[in-house]
Amino acid sequence: MSERLLIRGGTVIDPAHGYHGPGDVLVDNGVIAAVGVNLDADGAKVIDAGGFIVAPGFVDMHVHLREPGEEYKEDIASGTRAAAAGGFTSVVCMANTRPPIDTEGLVRFVLERVRQTGVVNVFPVAAITRGLEGKELTEAGSLRAAGAVALSDDGHPVADAELMRAAVQYAAMFGLPVIDHCQDSSLSADGVMHQGYWSTVLGLRGQPGEAEALQVARDVMLARMTGAHIHIAHVSSRHSVELIRRAKEEGLNITAEVTPHHLVLTDAIVNDMGYDTNTKTNPPVREEADRRALREALRDGVIDAVATDHAPHQQDDKLVEYEYAAPGIVGLETAIGLLSTELVEPGWLDWGRLVAAMSWAPARLLGLRRGTLGVGEMADITIIDPAYRWVVDPQRFYSKSRNTPFAGRSLVGRAHMTIVAGHVVMQEGKVLE
């Protein structure tokens, strides 16, 4: 029942087919019908994409939708609208809800709520261990059957190496990657920001980059032992980057993601913003050498994907002393603008690599049939206006939460249109109901 669309005159970037050039995209009945130059409209509704980038629908593989249990921060309705506004056609939601998504029934509940209230695709991640307690494995096979696309105890990293060994081996049997929030909690201790010059100046407890890298090293060993696929979430430290680089050179099944805030900020922001708790996130933003390593790793493909780690929190959780504030930054509605402004414009990355890292790469590593403009594939499309100038105003977010350190920042580039299964769900910043 979806109409025919002809997206005409844009720059088509389709990493799955190695295409980057002028072209039209024809959508029919919710799928890609043709990609080429000077396609005939033949009665289709024409969308003028002159000056725009036409990309496979963006996939954010690390989002906290907070439903069930913390709907005052975000829910599936608001979170998927924030995603649409930010140019994402698919989000992968984390399991640390209340209760955690650790049973087949909860996976089905999330998918049912998505069907009722969502405006973009949602692919749930289920917990590695029951209740995220790091003790007993969840039923990976049943979770997979119910629709889970990966397992993760994000936010509560599994400390026990033998349990993690079993988890990745068991999950691999069902084709599920395990996504690890890498943090050796004994070394990170109670750190609330990166341990370095600024934590010393500000008198805030720091957590060293090595606390992340230590657990990445463990995961590399486990991937080698088991052959299982382990995906390293929100890489923040240059030491982790180095371990991932070597693991990939060795041919191990390790993949990784990085967030826009780790690519854009350094720990100096905590000082610059005078202990503003919107700068608090876990893992923390680190120092210049780390930021540079992350940018190079994303450019070179050592880090596969960009994911926002969209972590909504209300004022009550943020308008308190720094050490008591909840960690997390909302990312869905600022990702494209930040990366365009801070990485593409200065020449760190080209649009081709960025589009790949935000569509094809995350889809492929999670085994999702998304992130491509191949004929016959689902017509999930993100159209980007790379020249659009705007200022971040959290009051205009579709997210229920406003916890961003980027308020007031001038950006160039945003999602112009978001198309999910052939339906236009967002146009020029407005989500269509």
Partner 1 sequence: MSEHTLARKDILGLRGMSREEITLILDTAASMLEIVDRDIKKVPTLRGKSVLTLFYEPSTRTRSSFELAAKYLSADTLSISTQTSSVQKGETLLDTARNIEVMGVDTVVIRHSASGASHFLARHLKAHVINAGDGMNEHPTQGLLDMFTIRTHLGRLEGLRVLIVGDILHSRVARSNIWGLLTMGARVAVAGPATLLPPRVAELGVDVYTDLDLALRHADVVNVLRLQLERQKKGLFASAREYNEFWGLTPERLRASQPDLLVLHPGPMNRGVEITSEVADGPQAVILEQVKNGVAVRMAILYLLMGGGE
Tokens of 330: 């909302």
Residue 408 beta carbon to partner 1: minimum distance, rounded to whole angstroms: 15
Size of the site for partner 1 (CB under 8 A): 20
Q: Is 100 in the site for partner 1 (CB under 8 A)?
A: no
CA angle 353, 356, 361 (to 5 degrees): 130
Cα separation, 81 vs 415, in Å, equals 13
| Contact of 93 with 123, CB cutoff 8 Å | yes
Among 177, 196, 328, 337, binds partner 1 (CB under 8 A): 196
**205, 246, 292, 409: which one binds partner 1 (CB under 8 A):** 205
Q: Of the candidates 72, 322, 348, 390, which one interacts with partner 1 according to CB under 8 A?
A: 322
Residues 252-291 that bind partner 1 (CB under 8 A): 274-275
Closer Cβ to partner 1, 31 or 407, answer by number? 407
Contacting residue, 112, 173, 200, 391, with partner 1 by CB under 8 A: 200
Q: Tell whether residue 162 is a contact of partner 1 (CB under 8 A).
A: no
Q: CB–CB of 364/15 below 8 Å?
A: no
CA distances (Å), origin 82, targets 238, 305, 311, 332, 398: 30, 20, 12, 6, 5
41 binds partner 1 (CB under 8 A): no
Region 381-420 residues binding partner 1, contact defined as CB under 8 A? none
Pick the stretch among 68-76, 205-213, 245-253, 405-413 that binds partner 1 (CB under 8 A).
Answer: 205-213
What torsion, rounded to 10 degrees, do the Cα atoms 229, 171, 233, 319 define?
Answer: 180
- What's the rounded Cα separation, in Å, for the pair 379 and 90? 12
Given candidates 116, 321, 376, 433, which one binds partner 1 under the rule CB under 8 A? 321
Shortest approach of partner 1 to residue 196 CB, angstroms? Answer: 6
Closer CB to partner 1, residue 170 or residue 198?
198
Q: Interface with partner 1 by CB under 8 A: which range of 133-141, 197-205, 216-224, 232-240?
A: 197-205
197 binds partner 1 (CB under 8 A): yes
Distance CA 433, CA 251 (A): 45
Give CA–CA dist 193/176, Å, rounded.
32
Report, in Å, the least distance between residue 101 CB and partner 1: 30
Question: Whole-angstrom Cα distance, residue 422 to residue 373?
Answer: 12
The only residue of 41, 320, 387, 432 in contact with partner 1, by rule CB under 8 A: 320
CA dihedral 183, 187, 191, 194 (to 10 degrees): -70
Catalytic residue (one of 309, 317, 380, 385): 309
CA angle, residues 221, 60, 258, in degrees to nearest 5: 45
Spatial neighbors of 142 by CB under 8 A, at least 6 apart, are 103, 104
Catalytic residue status for 309: yes
Cite the active site residues.
Answer: 309
Interface residues toward partner 1, by CB under 8 A? 195-197, 199-206, 208, 274-275, 319-324
